[in-house]
Amino acid sequence: MRIAPVHWVGSHIAAGAVLQGLAGRLHAERDRWALWLPPFIGTGIGLYFLLPMEPPLWMGLALVVAGIALSIAARRYVAGSLVAIALTAASIGFLAAQIRTAMVATPMLAEEIGPVKVIGTVVAVEALPSGQRVLLEDVVIEGIAPEATPVRVRIRIVKRDAVVVPGERIDLLAELAPPSLPVTPYSFDFQRAAYFRGIGAQGFAYGGPRLVEDPEATMSYLASLSAGIEALRLRVAQRIRAVLPDADGGVAVALMTGSQTAIPREAVDAMRAVGLAHLLSVSGLHIGLVTGILLLAVRAGLALIPSIALRYPIKKWAAGIAFVGAFFYLLITGMGVPTQRSFLMAGLVLFAVMIDRTALSMRLVAWAAGVILLLQPETLTSPSFQLSFAAVVALIAAYETSLAWRLRQRSRSSWLARLPFHLLGVAVTSLVAEAATTAFALYHFSQLTLFGLVANLVAVPVTAVWIMPWAVVAYALMPFHIEVLALVPMGWGIDIVLATARIVASWPASVSYLPAMPLWGAVLVAIGGLWLTLWRRSWRWWGAAPIAAGFISIAFVTPPHVLVSGDARLVAVADENGEYVFSQERANRFEADIWMHRAGQEERQAWPDDGYGADGRLLCDALGCVYRAENYVVAIAWQAGALIEDCAIADLVISLDPARDLCRGGEAGEPIVIDRFDLWRNGGYAIWLEPDEIRSLSVAETRGIRPWVADFVRRQPRPVRE
């Protein structure tokens, strides 16, 4: 008989002990297993959106059936059952995303058209600092077949005195284009977000709208109800702006209707710079405050009437009224993802109050996340979903961990003794929420806020104690047309918040930009964060390792050396310090800001029209520029006439005019060429000058062939010849 080596036996025993230890830890946390279902559903959704081509519907169905069969087969084995259930949940998420995409099926406008006549029914109106933006449904576009007409079209009306009411059918002369592409590979996909909102085109109107009498146009009951809610939102916003103009009114409109479009850019930038943007986006804080204010106010009011308080369950009555008020707030603020999540959680808590039950907070979050992911799978990729749930899950985990200590502090009877405890609570809440959302802010916005805690210590209590109670009172007074009594003091609180934002934003280094975190880094942080917050025992701290690895991933990011916009209006090249210099100082401001911030750059600088720039790497004249870096020569030609010389000296030629077959003979030694046609077909380009090769990546290459990709990008991209 052969005796196994001692080291092999020892390793086998050690591995068995490790597995046994893991099994014991997992079994001890069995009451938390259900919390992992939404993350696995999200995993399936994420895999669906990462695919380069649209999978057939039978694939998702087959995966779900296979997962269910595997679960049944492994039902006698705990470990096997858990794996099978996780795979089934991921398959359900994958199938849910497929079904949602098929149900939306929004035709996307293939290319820019106009001026063209557009007729549609107004379903939403948003006030802008200059003019307004309307969302049209049941659209007719001159020259576009009905089957190719987008379900919804969003148009900006610059005419200030134009009066548009939801539910009306209007006629516009407009310039239309497909929804915007990502401004750089792997950045936020505006076109995909528009697709899932049913928006297949956007543009601007020439002049004002004209009311259309169309006896054949009819609205369904749901469409009429939606138009009525939008009309109410518009009236509320108009009455707020009549009392509170400028930034105060814009913030009040955001808090009471969910629309941030009327807030001046300066105020929004200041709020974002100090980590107060969450106050502008209606979320859990606002739903919780509205619900709590109504619950306390109604219960206190009924308690003052002995004949009612002594005979009836006024707490349950107050919970019911608070639920109705929260539902009204959900509708009038536009039903954003954070608002939906908060309403679902608040609704379950209030229902538990009415049936004398206690709700479990983390289970509430899991329940809300599961419902939202199954009904709207596309929200997984949105910043609002990720930031909202990251903050809430982290806060609940922190509250669970500190429960015993908080109960001891609350036992103190003196109000003065409890005051430091409440102030500490605000500080810890802000700190935990900011820490939980930092990675996702870096992934989406490349932004790191340094003094957010200071700003939140002032702004959050003012919002909770002063601004939101007056907002609830303003709602109650609006039917009597005396809302001014509540809006004016509400404006005082908003002044304090805005002043705090501006003061803190003016401090040196109040906001910093880092290179955008890569997707794999954000995924690692998400996995580590879930491990840290969903488990309760000591092994939860293992989650710190993937979180740290996710943040370290930023160090492995290499920003492109050259960036070219899809409309050929803007080019940026990196100087020797990695800072971008731009071909124009003011063009494509939105796009340039995203390029800079994703590279960790704060200030925009333009290269010279003539002479040297980019620390001597760039030489320009009237026909174009030559950029030398990493032993490569890149020619940027403004006009096709420059190509004769550029093709002879350059390794890469970027022609902002159509170059056709110039420099494209296919012979060895000829340069790589990216011209206007490539940009039109493939969107913007990012280019890396690596030691062994010039590597280019277009927007089209990162998006694949999916239903939300407009036809002009869906066409087979023309390869860039070497």
Residue count of the chain, please give it. 722
Contact 600, 515 (CB under 8 A): yes
pLDDT at 720: 46
Farthest-apart Cα atoms in the chain, separation: 97
Distance (Å, rounded) from C-alpha 194 to C-alpha 708?
8
Rg of the chain, C-alpha, whole Å:
29
Contact 643, 691 (CB under 8 A): no
Query: How many CB atoms within 10 Å of residue 320?
Result: 17
Query: How many CB atoms within 10 Å of residue 308?
Result: 13
Q: How close are the terminal C-alpha atoms of the chain, in Å?
A: 65
Within 555-638, strands assigned E span 562-564, 571-574, 580-582, 605-606, 611-613, 618-620, 624-629, 632-637
pLDDT at 716: 43
Angle at 606 between CA 603 and CA 611, to 5 degrees: 140
pLDDT at 245: 85
pLDDT at 311: 86
Which residues are CB-contacts of 675 (< 8 A; sequence separation ≥ 6)? 653, 654, 655, 656, 657, 658, 659, 660
Contact 577, 615 (CB under 8 A): yes
Report the side by side order of strands in the sheet with 571-574. 605-606, 580-582, 571-574, 562-564, 685-689, 694-698
Distance (Å, rounded) from C-alpha 232 to C-alpha 165?
10
Within 128-228, strands assigned E span 132-141, 152-157, 169-177, 199-205, 210-211
What six digits make up the tokens of 243? 């009392």
Residue located via tokens 């964060």: 529
Distance (Å, rounded) from C-alpha 16 to C-alpha 3?
19
Kindly list the averaged pLDDT for each block of 10 residues, start to end, along the chain of length 722: 52 64 81 93 96 93 94 86 93 96 89 89 83 89 89 88 82 92 90 92 90 67 76 89 89 90 86 83 81 88 86 88 90 79 79 71 85 92 88 87 66 60 71 87 86 84 90 93 94 94 86 89 96 92 95 92 90 89 84 90 83 81 87 87 80 83 60 86 92 90 88 46 42
Contact 215, 600 (CB under 8 A): no
Distance (Å, rounded) from C-alpha 601 to C-alpha 176?
33
Q: Hey, is 359 helix, strand or coil?
A: coil
Preceding peptide of 115 cis, ω within 30°: yes
Q: Which of 675, 683, 676 is nearest to 714 (CA)?
A: 683
What type of residue is 560? P
DSSP string across 634-689: EEEESSGGGHHHHHHH-SEEEESS--TTTT-S--TTPPEEE-HHHHHHH--EEEEE
Question: pLDDT tens-digit profile of 325-347?
Answer: 989 998 888 877 677 777 887 88
pLDDT at 1: 44
What six digits make up the tokens of 579? 């800072």
Distance (Å, rounded) from C-alpha 643 to C-alpha 649?
10
Q: Which of 670, 669, 667, 664 is nearest to 719 (CA)?
A: 664
What is the sign, positive or negative, of the torsion defined by CA atoms of 461, 467, 469, 471?
negative
